[in-house]
Structure 1
Amino acid sequence: MKMKIDKFILGIIGVVLLAYFFPEWGSSDSPIPLNLIGSIGISLIFFFYGLKLSPAQIKTGLKNWQLHILVQFSTFLVFPLIVLLFYPFMRSAHEQTLWLGFLFLAALPSTVSSSVVMVNIAKGNVPAAIFNASISGLIGIVITPLWMGLFMQHTATDFNLSSIYLKLITEILVPVALGVALQPYWGKFAQEYSRYLTSFDRSIILLIIFKSFAESFEKNVFSSVDVGDLLLISVATTALFYAVFFLTGFMADQLGFSQEDRITVQFCGSKKSLVHGTVFSKILFQHLPSVGIMLLPLMIFHALQLFIVSVIASKLAKRDIIPT
């Protein structure tokens, strides 16, 4: 099977290299107001996200409550608990920073578009995937800062949950609510131009990644990261993905789920959103010079999950469906 390299992953590699060679472009002294552009872009991303949320789909999706609980349980509890098991082994400040990056990854919502696409390819329960992927992002606005606040308050004196939630409400929740309110009027527009809106989303994400890494490179934060660290992160993210993937599959079997529902649980419950991750990092870690390091596990996990799940989905797509 011929595998395509995701263009977005190539874009991420490109902006990281650009940040390495031209870190001054992303510094606070840069004449380009990247922070302002990023903030406006984030609000627009979630406004369009709200436009795509169909109240009818959400209402229909509520019926399969066992599946939804299992997906959200995996996304916001199983993932973080696995990472928490390794907290006692983190001794140095460098190890704790890398571990916080993994906790951030583990506390994030599930990805939206790729989860739905992969479930569709694998012939899983697509309506349930749409519901879970959509609702996960909203739950993450509340849950992700709570998980990070348990540990960030000890390492960053400016980590203030009240100010963070205020920023999340104004930059994310209000635009989503506005989008949902206007969905009956502009929803068709959002669906019709979905491809262009996805390109806009990715452009904003690349801009945030560029600024995060430019600041980290400018302050020489990555001097403590070597090839061994990158190898360790790659192995750890792979192990984390497979642990959750097989655990969700096991739980789905124990609950007697159909194969279609099992696919949805595994694909949605084992994935993490790079979009939400980069957006949340801009708000949660805005004063930390090590934000680039914090994003490393997420970016490696993102590329890894796309590769592994696309292979699995392609194999499942070839199976014969027995009519019920």
Structure 2
Amino acid sequence: MKFLKIDGFVAAMLGAVVLGLLFPQYGVRDGILHLDIVTQIGIALVFFLHGANLSPHAIKAGAANWRLHLFVHAATFILFPAIGIAVFFGTQGILPPDVRLGFFYLCALPSTISSSVAMTALGKGNVPGAVFDATLSGLIGMVITPLLVSMVAHTATGGQLDVLSAIRDVALTLLLPFVAGQVFRPLLKDFIARHKSWITRADRTVILLIVYAAFSESTLAKIWTNYNPLVIVGILAMVSALLAVVLTATRFAARIFNFPREDEVAAVFCGSKKSLANGAPIAAVLFAGHPGMGMIMLPIMLYHQLQLIVCSLLARRYADAAEREERSNQGTS
């Protein structure tokens, strides 16, 4: 009997959570590791590398399909936040504030680039369109996500989030290094092409450090003692329902709008994905020093893994359908 192989990154995230629970003194702000400074430097480096790695030609190739672009960004920045708002205010007095804020934060995040494009390619969809939409989503999210979070943060935390300062901090930490990477791309593209795995490793390392720091802060603030373990089960159920609703809605809407199969694949995967690669760094900026940051990040951490599992299965189904269609066309020609 074959057992499911645990993804190495998922195992590492679990390890970071455990370390944050057992050894929080090293991961907090001003701790011996100074992770608040290290993660800021790491975030800037990662987004610089992402900027240097992104080919402008790949973006231009998918830029013309405006119907697909409107669809994806409507799903990402209208449908998701609408669901998040409904859950946030609908569960007031039922769920803890940090859980509600974390769920809304998940809904406010942009789409993810790497897995959106990978799943679209696996499902034989419109890859250039997926590259364009996922990239643009990440850039839009650097402004929209802080703006959306500022709308509800005061309700959950009791304090105001200075939206202009938040957008400025996100822009300086994420957008500026990304733009700098694009500027230096002509000098670095060959080096980046030879060492693409470095970007993934750096990206994941920074995420793990942010997760460790977040759970360390929450542990020292004794946040976890305030929650029943069933809360985590509840969060998993909520993000599972969210993914099911959005996948169903995007597939149905794509067919209502009569998208070609390739565009439907890109629309479904880009429109349903949420980015841990952007979510962790933005959270590190928006919720820096917040004792409940571990709980706030938990929904996106769970959603991240769930979307990979479900969307990989869905991509296989799309690929099988495409192959059947190709065989059918060959048989009738």
TM over 0.5: same fold?
A: yes
Contact 1:97 1:293 in 2 (8 A): yes
Residue of 179, 182, 207 corresponding to 2:181: 179
Gaps of 5+ in 1: none
Range with greater deviation from structure 2 (73-82 or 29-38) = 29-38
Deviation at 1:127, TM superposition (A): 1.1
CA distance in 2, matches of 1:202, 1:162: 28
Deviation at 1:29, TM superposition (A): 4.5
CA distance in 2, matches of 1:185, 1:22: 42
Aligned to 2:286: 284
Residues 110-130 of structure 1: per-residue CA shift (max 9 Å, x gap) = 111111111111111111111
Write the letter of the residue equivalent to 1:266: V
2:292 is the counterpart of 1:311? no
| Number of residue pairs matched by the alignment | 324
Deviation at 1:79, TM superposition (A): 0.6
Aligned to 2:26: 25
Given the superposition, is the C-alpha separation of residues 158 and 82 from structure 1 closer, same or farther in structure 2, using an over 3 Å criterion? closer
What secondary structure is seen at the aligned counterpart in 2 of 1:19? helix
Deviation at 1:2, TM superposition (A): 7.6
TM-score by length of 1: 0.95
What does 1:1-324 correspond to in 2, within 5 Å? Answer: 4-92=5-93, 95-154=96-155, 155-157=157-159, 159-319=161-321, 320=323, 321-322=325-326
What secondary structure is seen at the aligned counterpart in 1 of 2:124? coil
Range with greater deviation from structure 2 (32-41 or 191-200) = 191-200
What secondary structure is seen at the aligned counterpart in 1 of 2:96? helix
Contact 1:94 1:224 in 2 (8 A): no
Deviation at 1:6, TM superposition (A): 1.9
CA distance in 2, matches of 1:108, 1:88: 18
Given the superposition, is the C-alpha separation of residues 3 and 316 from structure 1 closer, same or farther in structure 2, using an over 3 Å criterion? farther
Contact 2:217 2:290 in 1 (8 A): no
Deviation at 1:186, TM superposition (A): 1.6
Deviation at 1:151, TM superposition (A): 1.2
TM-score by length of 2: 0.92
Residues 291-318 of structure 1: per-residue CA shift (max 9 Å, x gap) = 1110111111111111111112223323
Gaps of 5+ in 2: none
CA distance in 1, matches of 2:293, 2:309: 25
Write the letter of the residue equivalent to 2:53: K
Percent identity over the alignment? 36
Deviation at 1:48, TM superposition (A): 0.9
| Large movers: runs of 4+ above 4 Å | none
Contact 2:102 2:297 in 1 (8 A): yes
Range with greater deviation from structure 2 (227-236 or 7-16) = 227-236
Deviation at 1:232, TM superposition (A): 1.2
Range with greater deviation from structure 2 (148-157 or 233-242) = 148-157
